[in-house]
Structure 1
Amino acid sequence: MADALKPEQMRTYFALTEAVSLLQYEVRKQLQAEGGLSYVQFEILAKLVDAEGRSLTMTDLADGVVYSRSGLTHQAGLLERDGLISRRASPDDQRATVVDITKAGRARVADVLPGHVDVVRELLFDSLSDRDVRTLGDVMSRARDHMRARPPRSAAPRRRAR
């Protein structure tokens, strides 16, 4: 059996998970109220905006968004139905699906972004000094990079239905 977490590790773990849950709860509420978006839909749109005109594949999105493949496909379908993204077969790889954000998708992100920034600033950054923000960013980047060093979820074999 593995050793238990040290008390300071346990305190840090629970503080982190609670802070993330509280922040995500308010962010989800804001995104739904102001843009009719789920958190993962906003994440997909934001990654496409961040791609600066480059198309992303569904695999790129799956590797960047922490969400199940089937769930991601469903959310992408909803975004496509609402005219916020378009999907097409890749001209380079017939197994890949390419995703682009539409003008309407960019507009939706622009609509919800000010409120999103307000929620994040108020709940996360208002209680931290500039030094705290740098330190937290450095620590969380190291933790994220450590977790991302594992093979991407898209590389994991798919489970077959029984």
Structure 2
Amino acid sequence: MTHEPLDPRQLGAYFVLREAVSLLEHQIEQQLHADGDISYVQFQLLARLHHASEPLTMTQLADGVVYSRSGLTYQAGLLEKAGLVARSRAPEDERATLVSITAEGRALFERVLPGHVELSRRLLFDPLTDDDVRHLGDIMTRVRDNLRAQPPRSAAPRKRRDTT
């Protein structure tokens, strides 16, 4: 593992990426809140459940949306309270919690999706050529795969609190 500083080109690319992602996330959060009174994390959870052929475990959801276990539990609780998802114990493993999307959750997801697609297209894809989109997909796939080669967050041991 090298501890050399990033060269100016790498540092510039890093900051441009972080700024672009932050600006995009901010606009998307505003759209989702306006159209459905949900956060982006809640949208991601509904999207994963909407496209799943069966209920997903909390661990599958946490790994899929890259969110902490406690944060996901809180978000799933909010969605359940709003009637958008249902949680139940897994029959084959009583320690696992299954999450499924309700009819109300599907309806909300389908209501906010067109605005999400339009905004994503306008902010991210309209300034790019088809070649740019292909290159961006290739680059970000390599970055994602490198990051995903690490054990998922759900596999990390929980930190013990010092009670002394």
Task: Confirm or deny a common fold (TM above 0.5).
Answer: yes
Letter of the structure 1 residue corresponding to residue 131 of structure 2:
R
TM-score by length of 1: 0.96
Residue 160 (structure 1) shift: 2.1
Q: Which runs of 5+ in 2 are unaligned?
A: none
Specify the alignment match of 1:101 in structure 2.
101
Residue 161 (structure 1) shift: 2.6
The one-character-per-residue Cα deviations of 1:106-155 (angstroms, maximum 9, x if unpaired) are 10010101110111111100000011001100100110011001111000
Rounded Cα–Cα distance in structure 2 between residues aligned with 1:103 and 1:8: 49
- Runs of 4 or more above 2 Å deviation: none
Q: How many residues align?
A: 161
Specify the alignment match of 1:114 in structure 2.
114
Specify the alignment match of 1:36 in structure 2.
37
Give SS of 2:86's match.
Answer: strand
Give SS of 2:127's match.
Answer: coil
Fraction of identical pairs, as percent: 60
Rounded Cα–Cα distance in structure 2 between residues aligned with 1:37 and 1:46: 12
Letter of the structure 2 residue corresponding to residue 66 of structure 1:
V
TM-score by length of 2: 0.95
Q: Which runs of 5+ in 1 are unaligned?
A: none
Letter of the structure 2 residue corresponding to residue 120 of structure 1:
S
Specify the alignment match of 1:68 in structure 2.
68
Residue 43 (structure 1) shift: 0.6
